[in-house]
A and B are shown apart, each in its own frame.
Chain A
Amino acid sequence: MSLLEAKGISKHFGGVQALQNVSLTVEPASIVGLIGPNGAGKTTFFNVLTGVYVPDEGTLTFAGQPLPAGQPHRVARAGLVRTFQNIRVFPQMSVLENVMVGFHGRTHSGLLGAWFNGPAVRREEREIREGAQELLKWVGLQEMARRVASTLSYGAQRRLEIARALATGPRLLALDEPVAGMNGAERGHMAELILRIRAAGIALLVIEHDVRWIAQLCERITVLDHGQRLAEGTSAEIQANPQVIEAYLGHGSHG
């Protein structure tokens, strides 16, 4: 059974058809690429997927269950969690606190727990803290745990976003342009991190512009253009697809 099945997703804003009949599947523990020119609808698709927007048409099935439309927190709790193209860490919280927030949906202590602060609550807090430290080590930010998130470098903030997302215990991690603005070495580190996440049994859906970078990672790639699915196939198929080349380079220019 596929982990994620999006069927015939359409979404329009006023007169603009942002997505039209887009379908996509992600198998468990696989890496799927989502590429396309600027304005192709990739981020809109992410927003529909993660409950930020309600689709006009189409169905979303995750691990056999329909995804709750328009309810981001329930999507995240179902095991589908994302990062953002324009990084959205909690800027004034510490790096460790950022990741600790990720554990919220998996933990339970409430108001009375906070007030009485009994042994169960203290144990849970300790587990959250240790889990967060573990994840920071995993993405290579353990030295930065006490820093304020906004003071981190761009690349480090992307890693922090991923650590925070992993804290929710996802089965599918959706990354929106994880290497935008990064240099070659940083791209290599990110690719290595993505492969490690997959090795841990978590599937990934990755939006990216750089076809060559994503082709080395993904089993399958879906290409969007003008809100429609232009092509779907293995990395090699996509790179050889004349339609895809045309969408990226324009009519008859570079041959």
Chain B
Amino acid sequence: MIVPLPRFKPLWMFLGILLLPWVIEGLLGRGWVRILDFALLSVLLAVGLNIVVGYAGLLDLGFIAFFGVGAYAYALLASPQFGLHWPLWAILPTGVLVAAGFGVALGWPTLGLRGDYLAIVTMGFGEIIRVFLNNLTAPVNITNGPQGITMIDALHLGNWSFARPHRVLGIPLPALVGTYYLFLLFVLLALFLSRRLEYSRIGRAWMAIREDEIAAASMGLDTRRLKLLAYALGAVFGGVAGGLFAGFQGFVSPESFTLQESVMILCMVVLGGMGNLRGVVAGALLLAFLPEVLRPLGGWQQHWFHRVLIDPSTLRLLLFGITLVVLMRWRPEGLLPSRARAREWHTS
């Protein structure tokens, strides 16, 4: 076998993934299924960014821009804003093309940059997109400014709306669980495509560029094209996640696409283990759930000290930060690193 296929998961794991939302709903309540749905979008984003940062080694601090582009593409094509109500199957390919276009357009000027410089420029691009979303209101009101776009059509395929509960074979299927399966499908597809790339001629070329760009070019690799391809693909994954996000949430506004979100996704990739898909998935799930787990801090303080000593949201960020520092101190290569990353940290 030349290209290793994704390792066949044992049946129980597959069943576990299928039953997960039911278990969570039973044990923790419906709110956590919603959090789970959002976590899957985070996974999709992290898998996309992993192509850019993990495979091709391009430090991108503005990745959330593509999430924003995808979200607004969906919002504009399926909301009263322009009176358009395209179906999902038409929005998706359009969104893919738009996101890829943005990936290439924003990647192009950075081709000659490396490391810190690349990070700063991509960060700038991320902010530019957000500022545009905030201000594209005149002469034609496109984005509706800071108020964002509301009443976006729910995700639906034909007559099947993912915003409504259904009954399948007599079993009631809550809307959030249906959405979970839809998002899961996208995540699995993204993982499959990513995995196939990793072990291909293209993936090998990306890794060579990551390791030594000059040597890679000297061996006949068209580094400009390969880097643009990585940007475009990452942007597509991010854009699809954005479209799903818009349809799921029903409204979008620029404040969902701040630098902090870009940093968060980068943290997911780095913390999980750059370049290794299992690690990236683990990192994304961990960082998506951690803030939610820490949410009831105010209540705990009340319980233990009979008053709230520290503002819960501040404390939450503090604990979150401490967790990141501790993890990076003891496992700088990430939770589940790729072979190469583990070696980098432990051979020298």
Contact = CB atoms under 8 A, between A and B. Distances in A.
Interface stretch (B60-68, B123-131, B148-156, B196-204): B196-204
Contacts of A124: 201
Interface in A125-160: 125-126, 128-129, 148, 150-151
A58 to B, nearest CB: 21
A128 B218 contact: no
Nearest to A107: B201
A91 B219 contact: no
Contacts of A73: 217-223
Interface in B175-208: 193, 196-197, 200-205, 207-208
Given A88-B218, A92-B344, A129-B2, 12 more contacts: A91-B212, A92-B211, A93-B204, A97-B204, A101-B219, A102-B220, A104-B204, A113-B201, A114-B200, A115-B193, A117-B3, A122-B3
Contacts of A81: 218-220
A164 B205 CA distance: 13
Interface in A36-56: 50, 52
B221 A109 contact: no
Contacts of B197: 111, 114-115
Contact of A88 (B214, B222, B223): B214
A85 to B, nearest CB: 12
B216 interface: yes
A82 interface: yes
Given A92-B344, A150-B347, A114 B196 contact: yes
Contacts, number: 115
Interface string A74-118: 001100011010001111110001001110111101110111010
Interface of A: 50, 52, 72-73, 76-77, 81-82, 84, 88-93, 97, 100-102, 104-107, 109-111, 113-115, 117, 121-122, 124-126, 128-129, 148, 150-151, 164-165, 167-168
A76 B202 CA distance: 18
Nearest to A76: B220
Secondary structure at the B interface, as helix, strand, loop or mixed, is: helix
Interface of B: 2-3, 193, 196-197, 200-205, 207-208, 211-212, 214-223, 229, 233, 340-341, 343-344, 347
Contact of A93 (B196, B207, B347): B207
Nearest to B232: A111
Secondary structure at the A interface, as helix, strand, loop or mixed, is: helix
A164 B341 CA distance: 22
B211 A104 contact: no
A148 B220 CA distance: 22
A110 B214 CA distance: 22
